[in-house]
Amino acid sequence: MGKSRLSDRGNKLLVWIALVILSFPALLPAAWMVSTSLKGDTQVFAAGGKTAPPVSLASLIPKPIVVKNYPDALQAIPLRTYLRNTAFLCIVNITGAVLSSSIVAYGFARMRFFGKEVLFLVMIATLAVPEQVTMVPVFALYRALGWYGTYLPLTAPTFFGVPFFIFLLTQFFKTLPEEMAEASRLDGASEWKIFTRVMLPLSKPALATCALFQFMGTWNDFQGPLLYLNDPQKYTLAYGLQQFMSKNGGQWLMLMAAATVFTLPVIVVFFLAQKTFIQGIATTGGKS
């Protein structure tokens, strides 16, 4: 017992070292973004007859640190409006997507009905249609429904199950032990009760994953607001970020500052969400 503990500790150290080494390439994009956002023009762009300096890790450290890009960027767009709109859409869409997708996934994973396999394949197949070619008819459809200029095209569809999440949750529900559901069924519980009382609590990691992805999807969505909104008061952060990409440059550093601010909330959300993965199913596994 003591021996295996020791090798356990040795293994952990190896894992830790591997993680530290791999962290460098993983951190590079974020580090570069933050460092650029803290630089002045002259640090980023070589001028005055000199060629640009080679890219090195040392050049990631801004000298001196310039904070000005942040207030500049934040004042260039109506940040508070965009943030409020984005948060609203995120909350609505996470609720809709997780709720509807988990119900549909339960049907596919645990129920028996005619044509299930085929319908499941049809659902996966819908993901293989490039949206470039459905964009025009979809737009015409939403407009016919009177949804143009509102948030409905960006929210309502998530209440009808998101194929990506349905597929993911189906895979998860299938792995969960059948015995508990069977036991509840013998106690006379309905399928709905089994779903809500047995399956959902066991699937927290998967549900959290779906919520995280939906959050990121809505947070980053540029196409939706671009096509369906026509009022600057309704725009979102992802849309605002695109507005920094001026054709003739010049706003480069502001773009990086805005991108940093844009990224921060997602990091926080992820940091909080990943705790859910840790807690997860551990309580049912006999560790308790």
Partner 1 sequence: MTTPAPSTLGSRVRRFWRQNGAGFLFISPWLIGFTLFMGWPFLRSVYLSFTSYDIVSPPHWIGTANYSSLLHDDPLFWKSLWVTFRYALVAVPLTTVVGIALALLLNVEVRGQAIFRTIFFLPSIVPSVATSVLFVWLLNPELGLVNGLLRAVGIEGPAWLTDTTWAPWSLALMSLWGVGGSMVIYLAGLKDIPTHLYEAARLDGANARQSLRHVTLPMLTPVIFFNVVMGVIGAFQYFTQAYVMTKGGPEGSTTFYALYLFQRAWQYLDMGYASAMAWILFIVVTSVTAVLFTSQKKWVHFGR
Partner 2 sequence: MEGRRLPLKSVFGIALAVVALIVLLPPPAPLAKIPNRKPVYFWHMWSGEWQPIVEGICQRFNASQTQYEVIPLQIPSAGADSKFLVSAAGGVSPDVVSQMHPVLGMWSDRGLIRPLDELMTPAEREAYVREAFPIMKKHAIYHGHIMALIAGVDVNACYYRLDHLKEIGLDAQHLPKTLEELVEVAKKLDRYDKDGRLQRVGFLPQTFQDFVPSFGGAFNDAAGNPLLGTPQQRAANRWVVSQYKRLGFDKVTRFLSTQAADVGITAPIIAGNYSIWLDGQWRVKQTHDFAPNLQYCVAPLPPPVGGRPFASNTAANFLVIPRASRNPEGALAFMKYWIGMDDPEAGGHNQEQMSWLPYCQRVANAHSYQKFLRENPNFKPFLDMMSSPNLEIPPTGPNQSFIMDEMQKVGESTARGTKTADQAIDDLVAAVKVEDKRQQRLGHG
Summarize as ranges the residues that interact with partner 2 (CB under 8 A).
Answer: 41-42, 45-52, 92, 95-96, 99-100, 103, 107, 135-136, 139-140, 143, 148-152, 155-156, 159-160, 188-193, 222-223, 226-227, 230-233, 239, 242-252
**Residue 174, contacted partner among partner 1, partner 2, none, CB below 5-8 A by kind:** partner 1
Residue (223 or 284) nearer to partner 2, CB = 223
SS3 122: helix
CA quadruple 276, 277, 281, 282: dihedral, nearest 10: -100
**Residue 48, contacted partner among partner 1, partner 2, none, CB below 5-8 A by kind:** partner 2
Distances in Å between the Cα of 200 and the Cα atoms of 137, 168, 172, 192, 273 are 36, 14, 11, 11, 17
Q: Which position among 89, 154, 194, 255 is part of the footprint of partner 1 (CB under 8 A)? A: 255
**Residue 2, contacted partner among partner 2, partner 1, none, CB below 5-8 A by kind:** none
**Residue 1, contacted partner among partner 1, partner 2, none, CB below 5-8 A by kind:** none
Q: Does 216 bind partner 1 (CB under 8 A)?
A: yes
Q: State both tokens at 70.
A: 């942040």
Contact set for partner 1, span 26-85 (CB under 8 A): 26-30, 32-33, 36, 52-57
| Cα–Cα dist 96/186, whole Å | 31
Helix (H) or strand (E) holding 267: helix 252-279
Phi/psi region, residue 280 (left: phi>0; alpha: psi -120 to 50; beta: rest), is left
**Residue 90, contacted partner among partner 2, partner 1, none, CB below 5-8 A by kind:** none
**Residue 223, contacted partner among partner 1, partner 2, none, CB below 5-8 A by kind:** partner 2
Contact set for partner 1, span 138-157 (CB under 8 A): 138, 141, 157
Q: Which position among 10, 23, 41, 45 is part of the footprint of partner 1 (CB under 8 A)? A: 23
Q: Please name the residues in contact with 246: beta carbons below 8 A apart, sequence gap of 6 or more.
A: none
| Cα–Cα dist 96/155, whole Å | 8
Measured from the CB of residue 150, what is the shortest distance to partner 1 in angstroms?
15
Peptide bond between residue 205 and the one before it cis (omega within 30 degrees of 0): no
